[in-house]
Homo-oligomer: A and B are copies of this chain.
Amino acid sequence: MGINLAIVGSTGAVGQTILDILRENNLDFSLNNLKLLASENSAGTKITFGGKEITVEAANSSSFHDVDIAIFSAGSSVSKNLAPKAVESGAIVIDNSSAFRMDDKVPLVAAGVNYESLYEHEGIIANPNCSTIQMVCALKPILDHAGIKRIVVSTYQSVSGTGYQAMKELTEQSPKYLNNEAIEKQIYPHQIAFNMLPHLDSFDENGDTKEELKMVNETKKIFQDENIGVTATTVRVPVFIGHSEAVNIETKSKLSACDARQLLENFSEVEVIDDPFEAKYPTPIEIAGKDQVYVGRIREDLSIDNGLNLWVVADNLRRGAAFNALLLTEYLAKYII
């Protein structure tokens, strides 16, 4: 007996990454049936998986009979519309969109950080935002050991977070810029090639982007502490895969860089790469395609009593989305359903 899994948004960047990880077959659950769903536009696409060809079907409210777990990665409006239907049909939904993340009835779960919240689910479970997942993974052992008072984070986020069209835009703009040819902009409001855009998602009236507010609010929810101060500046950078974050924290009790490094080395979700004299620190090019959260540049911040700086890098499609969703699937399959 394996589980019947449906993937909504199976032709997108995250959907394809879910299939890649399933093909690697390193997760501790077995699949009975795999149903691939997408928009009307992508329906009919043939995808080879496990030696057979699966035809992508158009997702609709009757797609979820006989589905145990449905992973949604097709944007908020699809999730808002179809996730409740999937739950009515008896499926558990793991939703990659932001649609339900701040809903009190929906657990927001970063794998390895707060699996225990899964037990409170009422049908829908939310995957945190990619930039939140890697940060809370890197901070969890520090939170447990020393407490965290405040987080100041600046991000360096790759274009794959926007999807395939944005990767195409960076691929096309880069040689055009080098050849002094006219640049076309379709996905981003400014050129992304060889540029920095402090603009992810839309702005609110205080001048924060929704991406920044996601990092603030999701971190508080996952850590179950409304009093943690969090402020974020999120920046889109010309990198294809892998988000980087400069994370500055103020802990409640003193924690040396050496002790923080040890805590992180002992934490299952994190790999420490921190030997600066040998130029060893994580970079997006090096960690793309990998599943863990990579932490380096662990050092004390002497501007306050209990300050620490960390450099946190993860594959946003894998750790920040697909792999987190599959780890939640694994946990549900093993312990809950």
| Given A198-B311, A208-B299, A298-B207, also A285-B156 (CB < 8 A) | no
- Residues in B neighbouring A277, C-beta threshold 8 A: 203
Contact check, A239 vs B171: say whether CB atoms are below 8 A apart. Answer: no
| Given A208-B299, A311-B233, also A281-B194 (CB < 8 A) | no
Interface residue ranges of A238-287 to B (CB < 8 Å): 238-240, 244, 246, 248, 257, 274, 276-277, 279, 281, 283-286
Flag A165-204 by CB within 8 Å of B: 1 or 0 each: 0000011001100100000000001110011111100010
Instruction: Please tell me the size bucket of the interface on A.
Output: 35 or more
- Residues in B neighbouring A279, C-beta threshold 8 A: 189-190, 199
Minimum CB–CB distance for A5 against chain B, Å: 33
| Given A178-B171, A281-B198, also A150-B304 (CB < 8 A) | yes
Kindly state whether residue A20 has any CB partner on chain B within 8 Å: no
Flag A214-248 by CB within 8 Å of B: 1 or 0 each: 00100000000000011101010111100010101
Contact check, B231 vs A307: say whether CB atoms are below 8 A apart. Answer: yes
A297: which of B175, B233, B244, B248 is its contact (CB, 8 Å)? B233
- Residues in B neighbouring A298, C-beta threshold 8 A: 207
- In the bound complex, CA of A235 to CA of B274 (Å): 15
Contact check, A297 vs B237: say whether CB atoms are below 8 A apart. Answer: no
| Given A307-B231, A309-B233, also A296-B190 (CB < 8 A) | no
What residue in chain B is nearest A310 (Cβ atoms)? B233
Minimum CB–CB distance for A236 against chain B, Å: 10
Q: Can you give 19 contacting A-B residue pairs, CB < 8 Å?
A: A150-B304, A152-B301, A174-B174, A174-B178, A190-B285, A194-B238, A194-B284, A196-B237, A196-B244, A198-B244, A198-B246, A199-B276, A208-B299, A231-B302, A231-B307, A231-B309, A233-B246, A233-B297, A235-B244
Residues of A within 8 A of B (CB): 150-152, 154, 156, 170-171, 174-175, 178, 189-191, 194-199, 203, 206-209, 216, 229-231, 233, 235, 237-240, 244, 246, 248, 257, 274, 276-277, 279, 281, 283-286, 296-304, 307, 309, 311, 313
Known contacts A191-B283, A191-B285; can you find 18 more A-B pairs with CB under 8 A? Answer: A150-B304, A152-B248, A154-B154, A174-B174, A175-B175, A190-B283, A194-B240, A195-B283, A195-B285, A196-B283, A197-B283, A198-B246, A198-B297, A199-B276, A199-B279, A206-B299, A207-B300, A246-B246
